[in-house]
Amino acid sequence: MNYLLGIDLGTSSLKTIVLSRDGKILSSDAIDYRFDSPVQGYAEQDPQVWWHACLNTVINAVRKANISAGDITAIGFSGQMHGVVILDKDYQVIRPAILHCDARSGEQVEQVNNLFSLPDRQRLFRNPVYPGFMLTSLLWIRDNEPENFERIAHVCSPKDYIRFQLTGVFSSEYSDASATLLFDIEKNCWSDEIISRVGLPRGIFPECTEPTEIVGKVTAEAAALTGLKAGTMAASGGGDLTMMSVGSGMVRNGDAIINIGTSGQVSFQIDRPVINPALNTNMFSAYHSDRWILYGATMSAGLCLKWWREIAGNPSYDAIHEAVSKTGPGSGGILFYPYLNGERCPHLMSDISSSFIGVNASTGFAEMTRSVMEGVVFNLRQCAGICEKLGFSAETYLAAGGAARSEDWTQIMADIFNKPVKRIIGEEQACLGAALSAGVGAGFWNSLPEAVDDVVRYQDRIITPITQNAAIYEEYYQLYRDIFPLYSESLRKLTNLGRRGTGSDGTCAVR
């Protein structure tokens, strides 16, 4: 029994890999899905969509690996963070999960901010209070769906639901729990002070463990559905940012990542909890109880390019590369602000939207496309700047997420940050991190640093800044920072007008 499974439950897909004992990914499988948005600003998913995707990807990944499912030693998990799954006393789903990118709970954010003073928020939360986090989503359910709230007996994060379905064991772990706004991040336990002050029942929250701890075994029922062997061990795993960091080998103090997936982050591994007085960054528990991750998170990163491609008629990535390579730094004088779903960092604004600045008669597809990519990276550089002011910086960054596969995007990262950027060999870092966590729990390795030293490898070529490009981007970056405050309030008003429709009574005036 020398194989591991890594399962990553994302916002837009669920992926499963099979990892051999010597660290080779033998196979992978993925199923895409979309989140539901029944009202503008809402983001929900039916947990059964995740479960069915899990069943099918596990079956397919094992088949592709051409191994016996009985030779799989352990399973690890990674998942989208902040969202909430609510279950009744029989562990049945009550309503669709509310996701991290959901914007409905603005009133509940105000409630929490009024209930806790700024010093209390700095001390207790260590993070901004924002829509889409478990705390504010639960308060929204209490205020707007009281009949559903009364039925709640258990709550969990998305990936914890999948693990529960496989093992019948209901639990969580430090990294995901710390991303709920209901957790004591320094002591690694649920915060009785927060929970009691907001008036939530303490008993609905699961027990938490280390991410590498084996917490359950595959049940006979799940084995019949997946083809796995009953009794296969399952580790806690972690939130996707933590597992992606592990799978990228970024587990030591000072390691830093630029991640561009659907959303984006600039993250730093740190060995002590920190307080950001401005509360415009995030800090969560990491892969071990004595490690934390500090990061600035932008809501829309790779999503911006996906959105733009759909508008442009879904050109191929080869066509995008050809267009971008013909356009110089600055995209002919265009700036793009990547706020498709509101923003968390560098601007804590849930009611903000994207915009292009500088479009003119000579602007074409190439310029618009490159400006989208540049705008995402400008925003992430701002996020990194905030972390640097808190005392954390890096000489080299690791590119992660889908953008790491793009020569254009990684060069833009190096030029805008004016720092070298390295890339990992292989893909599916969150899945890999999940599998390595299971491997540590199963005794394959003694620790995650030992596991990543054994398994993770980087490409020989490091992307270095092009001096001329970096100088040009420095001017654009200063403009990017200076322009936004001049019109941000007007843009917020425009966003809110669009959300409530054009009629004075809040109904749509179009017939």
Q: pLDDT by residue (tens digit) across 435-488?
A: 999 999 999 999 999 999 999 999 999 999 999 999 999 999 999 999 999 988
Cα separations in angstroms, 259 against 128, 182, 262, 306, 384: 20, 26, 9, 16, 12
Q: Residue 370: exposed, middle, or buried by beta-carbon count in 10 A (0-12, 13-18, 19+)?
A: buried
Read off the amino acid at residue 132: G
Whether the per-residue pLDDT at 336 is higher than 80: the answer is yes
Read off the amino acid at residue 184: D
Q: Is there a contact between 10 and 35 (Cβ–Cβ < 8 Å)?
A: no
Q: How crowded is the C-beta side of 265, counted as CA atoms within 13 Å?
A: 22
- What six digits make up the tokens of 129? 């209070």
Q: Is there a contact between 335 and 476 (Cβ–Cβ < 8 Å)?
A: yes
Q: What is the pLDDT of residue 510?
A: 34
Question: CA–CA separation, 294 vs 313, rounded Å?
Answer: 37
Q: Is there a contact between 330 and 477 (Cβ–Cβ < 8 Å)?
A: no
Q: What is the pLDDT of residue 346?
A: 86
Q: Which residue has the tokens 């710390």?
A: 178
Whether the per-residue pLDDT at 309 is higher than 90: the answer is yes
* Long-range Cβ pairs for the range 418-421 (8 Å, 24+): 418/465, 418/470, 418/473, 418/474, 419/394, 419/395, 419/465, 420/395, 420/396, 420/462, 420/463, 420/464, 420/465, 421/258, 421/396, 421/397, 421/462, 421/463
pLDDT tens per residue across span 157-174: 999 999 999 999 999 999
Whether the per-residue pLDDT at 134 is higher than 70: the answer is yes
> What is the share, in percent, of the chain residues with pLDDT greater than 90?
83
Count the Cβ atoms, other than its own, within 10 Å of residue 428: 21
Residue 100 phi, psi dihedral angles, 5° rounding: -60, -30
Return all residues near 98 (Cβ < 8 A) that are at least 6 apart. 43, 44, 83, 84, 104, 132, 137, 140, 141
Q: What is the pLDDT of residue 503?
A: 39
Residue 406's pLDDT band, with cuts at 50, 70 and 90, is very high
Across residues 195-212, what is the average pLDDT? Answer: 97
Whether the per-residue pLDDT at 321 is higher than 50: the answer is yes
Q: Is 255 a catalytic residue?
A: no
Q: Which of 8, 102, 176, 240 is catalytic?
A: 240
> What is the share, in percent, of the chain residues with pLDDT greater than 70?
98
Whether the per-residue pLDDT at 353 is higher than 90: the answer is no
Total-model pTM: 0.86
Residue 505's pLDDT band, with cuts at 50, 70 and 90, is very low
**Which domains are assigned to the chain?**
3-242 (3.30.420.40), 251-423+466-511 (3.30.420.40)
- As a dihedral over the C-alpha atoms of residue 185, residue 261, residue 77, residue 287, rounded to 10 degrees, the angle is -40
Q: Which of 72-76, 321-325, 349-353 has the lowest mean pLDDT?
A: 349-353
Go through 278-291 and write b for each residue having 16 or more CB atoms within 10 A of its CB, e for each that does not: ebbbbbbbbbbeeb
Q: Residue 218: exposed, middle, or buried by beta-carbon count in 10 A (0-12, 13-18, 19+)?
A: buried
Residue 507's pLDDT band, with cuts at 50, 70 and 90, is very low
Whether the per-residue pLDDT at 508 is higher than 60: the answer is no
Residue 147's pLDDT band, with cuts at 50, 70 and 90, is very high
Judged by phi (left if over 0) then psi (alpha if -120 to 50, else beta), residue 358 lies in left
Residue 427 phi, psi dihedral angles, 5° rounding: -130, -175
Q: Which residue has the tokens 């800044």?
A: 465
Across residues 238-255, what is the average pLDDT? Answer: 93
Q: What is the pLDDT of residue 502?
A: 41
- What six digits make up the tokens of 492? 């917020």
Nearest partner of 101 among 173, 35, 159, 177, judged by Cα: 35
Whether the per-residue pLDDT at 77 is higher than 90: the answer is yes
Q: Is 130 helix (H, G, I), strand (E, B) or coil?
A: coil
Question: CA–CA separation, 346 vs 297, rounded Å?
Answer: 8
Q: What is the 3-state secondary structure (H, E, C) of 248-269?
A: CCCCCCCCEEEEECCCEEEEEE
pLDDT tens per residue across span 337-346: 999 887 878 8
Q: Is 298 helix (H, G, I), strand (E, B) or coil?
A: strand
Output the average pLDDT for the chain: 93
Across residues 193-211, what is the average pLDDT? Answer: 97
Residue 1's pLDDT band, with cuts at 50, 70 and 90, is low
Whether the per-residue pLDDT at 194 is higher than 90: the answer is yes
